Structure 1
Amino acid sequence: MVVFNMRIALAQFNPVVGDIAGNTRKILDLAQAAIAQGADVLVTPELALTGYSPEDLLLRDSFYQACSAAMDQLLELDGITLVIGHPVKLGHERFNAATVLRDGNRLGQYHKMLLPNNEVFDECRYFTPGATPLVFQQGEHKVGVLICEDVWSVDPAAEAADAGADVVVVLNASPFHRNKIETRHEVLRYRSEETGLPFAYVNLVGGQDELVFDGASFAVNKAGEVVAQAAAYDDELLLVDFAAGDLQAAPAKAALPDPLESVYRALVVGVRDYINKNGFPGVLLGLSGGIDSALTLAIAVDALGADKVHAVMMPSRYTADISVIDSRDMIGRVGVKYDEIEIWPMYESFMNALAANFNGLAEDTTEENLQARIRGTLLMALSNKTGKLVLTTGNKSEMTTGYCTLYGDMAGGFAVLKDVAKTLVFALCRWRNTQGEIIPERIITRPPSAELRPDQKDQDSLPPYDVLDAIMARYVEENLSAEQIIADGFAEADVRKVVRLLKINEYKRRQAPVGPRVTQRGFGKDWRYPITNKFS
């Protein structure tokens, strides 16, 4: 029989930013559950007390006063050592901190050393970096503490080892993007190989505006092998035992989702938490018979349940009969509230009102955009009347090229596919149908069309989506230049067109709704380009 010298509980949970009282209650409940399971130490994620990221709430003194009161409340808990992630203000400096509490005593406080200031992170705006390692005594063992970015570099872990740590706990608010879980495993393996120490890594779970935290907390032994693994996207109290100088293998490890499932679940969590944490009674979306709105509908139903979703089909004279048929087919499969509103009479009223102003001018995209804006107006009216939030249905390929209408199909409160390329939209639809076929096959196989003019196809205006998305990934996500992309073998005309469209449509993206980030660079916090910009 193995005697466990120290049991560590990793508290993977879903906080709400700013709900300090509610987050404190969750931590106390998790601590009681950990005590009941024989844990000696409970470790929360980074900034668990406040949620990540509080952004400019961190500039308010009253915010720190509320955090201090919550820490006093946690200090009253007996029977377990708590390692709590929270912000702290000391004099004129603010720190991203982890405080160790035990039976009414503060055993130490660690300040995050490495403050990320790239991608979606802006910690240098708020925090001063720490400079001192923290190792605390737990029984016979010494436990080192790191926070998130600290473990992505050699020095903080080495300093914990030099300070005598036997094991290191790492508090994290590490947002999801594709392949992130595998990258975390690799980084912790490097740290174990370099220091000869085991690491227990706890991560947040849940959606916060554009960020989705996927959880997937884990532990690695001295050899860098994953010995304990929590589920992705769900709350979990992961127990890991330290004995014989190393973290021991858990009886069972959670299975991690495959790459497509992981993206799909991230989108579901992003929608669910944005709607529920902000108190909306449900969602509305425009259903077109196309693949983007079909995927958005599937995600909304999986996130919220059919009873909270309302789909509206708004056909015009250019809407194909099969678009209406396929939309009705999908509605029958998912069982949401559904309405059809014909927009052509409204369109004709607008055109009659504008006839004198348009006299002598040829038709162009103005007439197409007017149809989209009528649809946007109808959805926003229904939103105002019911309180339900409008989900927009445009994808990242369209956001890149401006193939979307400001105040039309961009009108809404949450852009579900904002960071999902068109080719990924197809892949996600096919994956979702393997879990139960709710998206009619013809919606997936039909050539994409905005259906705003006769016989319109997306590829009339854009390069093929496999080409467009490959160029977009290189330019937007990998930061390659046009010349580098051309050197990779892409046609110069296609590359120049995509880059030009990206540049001239920055003003649209600046006005787009927030949406969940699933790549390493989305059109949100990590995309900050000037609208007025002559650099080429």
Structure 2
Amino acid sequence: MATVLRAVLAQLNMRVGDIDGNLQRILDSSVQALHHQQADLVVFPELSLCGYNAQDLLLRDSMQIRIERALERLCTALPHNLHVLVGYPWLEQDSRYNCCAHFYQGKIQSVYKKQFFPNDPTAFAQRYFKPGHQALCIDINEIKVAIGIGEDIWQSAFIEQACTAQAKMIVSLNASTFHLNKQAERERMLSHHAQHAQMPILYASQVGAQDDLIFDGGSCTVDEQGNLRQRAPAFTEELCMVELQFTHSTSHVERGICEPLLSEEASVYQALMLSLRNYVEQNGFKGVLLGLSGGIDSALVLAIAADALGADKVQAVMMPYHYTAQISQDDAAAQAHNMAVDYKTIAIAPMVEAFSQSLAPVFADMPSTANDTTEENLQARCRGNILMALSNKNGYLVLTTSNKSETAVGYATLYGDMAGGFALLKDVPKCLVYRLARYRNSLSSVIPERVITRAPSAELSPNQQDADSLPPYETLDEVLRLYVEEEQSAQTIIAQGFEQEMVMRVLRLVDISEYKRRQATLGPRISKRSFGSDRRYPVTNHWQRGD
């Protein structure tokens, strides 16, 4: 006769530092899993009590005190007839561990300490945690269940531990960060390990966003043949039920709801919406504002912001100067109307001319008196001042609009278009910006077609186009991908057919722009290697670029 085990994977948005709030989410979800879904087991994400990634909050003395109180509360308040797995940090003899507690019958039955840590620059796990050295299996309905946390499930050594212990299934607690196509990578790994171990794997993951990190959820279950049997919706909180049946020698996983995988454009768009929404709401901003130029980048930022927060919490400001084309002003106004956001026009000519007049006597004594990037940057900095002044008055967060391609080569102005509190497109290459704009218009047409089809320009000088200063974006983005994300040398990139002079010029721009990126605001990470904690290069850098 088969033994049935009903498990709920609690895909929740846990908040860093909000131990009381996270505790209440665990209690509420456990009650719901038991009474509405008749669960035997509920699994919460990695470090769910303190939130992920808590960083140096983990080092504070009060963290341990608050965690101890939370664990005591869980012992008394969780349903006694429900098995519950909860992740938390624990300090023991001056060593800190990433732990999972098994709650049942009003007490902690056992504790597992995470054994393996990724070489992941976004987590700094080894700064905070020591590895455990003991595998753990628990019994639920006489089914032996192996417990893992995060990186454990990626390691063959952990899978071998579960097999040696004669476990019947594996449960993995996770707070896995998002990047493009990450879910497919996870599921391939889980399928491979499940087939090797000949046992089902339950994968519970966090959803939400924390600063630059995004957690897409991705909670899922694979059976002992490696077949996907359940997948939670991405970027959404969900209590995911899965029913398993075990006999003496086999297991069967009932097919649950398998949400379809999102397209690349849909997954990035939803990731950016989630990141912005969490950042604005959890940091107490009333809304957001941005400079709407009539160009593609600000058009996409406006669309994401309005979709994420609602039109009533978004303000767009057109700040024209002499070089701003009339079609840019028309298209900006049209999109603002399409999305029903608050829209203002503030001309910057009086401010730019006042600066120019004040500086003219000083500039007259300098070797070059011709207009150059100095005058262009004055325009951008006047716009930045306007946006920051509005932000100070109304408590709205300023969104910058530079994309990853521009950020890489320094095609942005410090204290100008880089001024703001959140860089929504910081990790989005220019070509992907266009794809996302097309994707958004496929849902409903809000971005004027001309914004997508016209040649990109900063409009800081007469008839200026990006192509005057940069290679075509299709070429630039691929060179940047190879150099920044793949860490390939100049010679390796050139050997793939790219023109040598262009490659060396692009790589030089990337290297000399590090000082700008150090002063840039944070933005959501959607690639395997973003500008931030992923990639740390010295500002003063004399490395040979051909290497």
TM-score, normalised relative to structure 2: 0.96
2:482–2:488 CA contact under 8 A, matched in 1:
yes
SS of the residue corresponding to residue 233 of structure 1 reads coil
Aligned to 2:34: 35
Alpha-carbon distance in structure 2 between the residues aligned to 1:316 and 1:124:
51
Alpha-carbon distance in structure 1 between the residues aligned to 2:268 and 2:3:
37
Residues 58-457 of structure 1: matches in 2 within 5 Å? 58-76=58-76, 77=78, 78-244=80-246, 245-359=250-364, 361-457=369-465
Alpha-carbon distance in structure 2 between the residues aligned to 1:287 and 1:4:
60
SS of the residue corresponding to residue 227 of structure 1 reads strand
Alpha-carbon distance in structure 2 between the residues aligned to 1:250 and 1:209:
35
Could you give the per-residue CA deviations for residues 498-529 of structure 1, whole angstroms, max 9, x where no partner exists?
A: 11000000010011111001111000111111
SS of the residue corresponding to residue 520 of structure 2 reads coil
SS of the residue corresponding to residue 250 of structure 1 reads coil
1:119–1:520 CA contact under 8 A, matched in 2:
no
Alpha-carbon distance in structure 2 between the residues aligned to 1:171 and 1:134:
13
Q: What is the aligned-residue RMSD (CA, Å)?
A: 1.1
Q: CA deviation at 1:249?
A: 2.9
Aligned to 2:17: 18
Aligned to 2:477: 469
Could you give the per-residue CA deviations for residues 30-57 of structure 1, whole angstroms, max 9, x where no partner exists?
A: 1011001110111001111111100001
Alpha-carbon distance in structure 2 between the residues aligned to 1:364 and 1:249:
67
SS of the residue corresponding to residue 90 of structure 2 reads strand
Alpha-carbon distance in structure 1 between the residues aligned to 2:416 and 2:381:
4
1:271–1:303 CA contact under 8 A, matched in 2:
yes
Could you give the per-residue CA deviations for residues 394-444 of structure 1, whole angstroms, max 9, x where no partner exists?
A: 000000000000000000000000000000000000001000010000000
1:347–1:371 CA contact under 8 A, matched in 2:
yes
Q: CA deviation at 1:24?
A: 0.7
Q: CA deviation at 1:4?
A: 6.0
SS of the residue corresponding to residue 405 of structure 2 reads helix
Structure 1: which 5+ runs fail to align?
A: none
Could you give the per-residue CA deviations for residues 352-381 of structure 1, whole angstroms, max 9, x where no partner exists?
A: 000111115222101001100000000000
Alpha-carbon distance in structure 2 between the residues aligned to 1:145 and 1:483:
46
SS of the residue corresponding to residue 132 of structure 1 reads coil
Alpha-carbon distance in structure 2 between the residues aligned to 1:315 and 1:372:
11
2:244–2:254 CA contact under 8 A, matched in 1:
no
4+ runs of 1 displaced by more than 6 Å? none
Q: CA deviation at 1:63?
A: 0.8
Could you give the per-residue CA deviations for residues 140-181 of structure 1, whole angstroms, max 9, x where no partner exists?
A: 101110111111110012112212211110011111100100
Q: CA deviation at 1:250?
A: 2.5
SS of the residue corresponding to residue 87 of structure 2 reads strand
Structure 2: which 5+ runs fail to align?
A: none
Alpha-carbon distance in structure 1 between the residues aligned to 2:185 and 2:258:
18
1:286–1:313 CA contact under 8 A, matched in 2:
yes
Alpha-carbon distance in structure 1 between the residues aligned to 2:228 and 2:88:
27
Aligned to 1:46: 46
SS of the residue corresponding to residue 526 of structure 2 reads coil
Equivalent pairs, count: 535
Alpha-carbon distance in structure 2 between the residues aligned to 1:129 and 1:28:
28
Q: CA deviation at 1:115?
A: 1.3
Could you give the per-residue CA deviations for residues 96-154 of structure 1, whole angstroms, max 9, x where no partner exists?
A: 11111112121111111111232422100000011110101112101110111111110
Alpha-carbon distance in structure 2 between the residues aligned to 1:226 and 1:65:
41
Alpha-carbon distance in structure 1 between the residues aligned to 2:492 and 2:195:
36
Alpha-carbon distance in structure 1 between the residues aligned to 2:285 and 2:81:
39
Q: CA deviation at 1:247?
A: 4.6
Q: Percent identity?
A: 49
Alpha-carbon distance in structure 2 between the residues aligned to 1:136 and 1:211:
32
Could you give the per-residue CA deviations for residues 237-265 of structure 1, whole angstroms, max 9, x where no partner exists?
A: 11111203425133431222111100110
Tell me the amino acid that sits aligned with residue 64 of structure 2: Y
Q: CA deviation at 1:488?
A: 0.9
1:227–1:247 CA contact under 8 A, matched in 2:
no
Single out whichever of 462-471 and 474-483 deviates more from structure 2. Answer: 474-483
SS of the residue corresponding to residue 5 of structure 1 reads strand
**Structure 2 CA distance for partners of 1:393 and 1:247, relative to 1, 3 Å:** farther
TM-score, normalised relative to structure 1: 0.98
Alpha-carbon distance in structure 2 between the residues aligned to 1:3 and 1:142:
14
Tell me the amino acid that sits aligned with residue 30 of structure 2: A
Tell me the amino acid that sits aligned with residue 507 of structure 1: Y
Alpha-carbon distance in structure 1 between the residues aligned to 2:257 and 2:268:
24
Alpha-carbon distance in structure 2 between the residues aligned to 1:195 and 1:323:
59
Tell me the amino acid that sits aligned with residue 386 of structure 2: L
Alpha-carbon distance in structure 2 between the residues aligned to 1:452 and 1:438:
26
2:208–2:278 CA contact under 8 A, matched in 1:
yes
2:4–2:243 CA contact under 8 A, matched in 1:
yes
Could you give the per-residue CA deviations for residues 476-502 of structure 1, whole angstroms, max 9, x where no partner exists?
A: 111111111111111111211111000
Select which of 510, 513, 516 maps to 1:505: 513
1:44–1:171 CA contact under 8 A, matched in 2:
yes
Q: CA deviation at 1:72?
A: 1.1
Q: CA deviation at 1:268?
A: 0.5
Single out whichever of 399-408 and 156-165 deviates more from structure 2. Answer: 156-165
Could you give the per-residue CA deviations for residues 457-489 of structure 1, whole angstroms, max 9, x where no partner exists?
A: 001000100000000011111111111111111
Alpha-carbon distance in structure 2 between the residues aligned to 1:356 and 1:103:
81
Tell me the amino acid that sits aligned with residue 322 of structure 1: I
SS of the residue corresponding to residue 389 of structure 1 reads strand
Single out whichever of 416-425 and 117-126 deviates more from structure 2. Answer: 117-126
Alpha-carbon distance in structure 2 between the residues aligned to 1:447 and 1:247:
56
1:4–1:241 CA contact under 8 A, matched in 2:
no
Alpha-carbon distance in structure 2 between the residues aligned to 1:262 and 1:249:
27
Alpha-carbon distance in structure 2 between the residues aligned to 1:160 and 1:186:
19
1:150–1:156 CA contact under 8 A, matched in 2:
yes
Tell me the amino acid that sits aligned with residue 515 of structure 2: Y
Alpha-carbon distance in structure 2 between the residues aligned to 1:211 and 1:169:
24
Tell me the amino acid that sits aligned with residue 511 of structure 1: Q
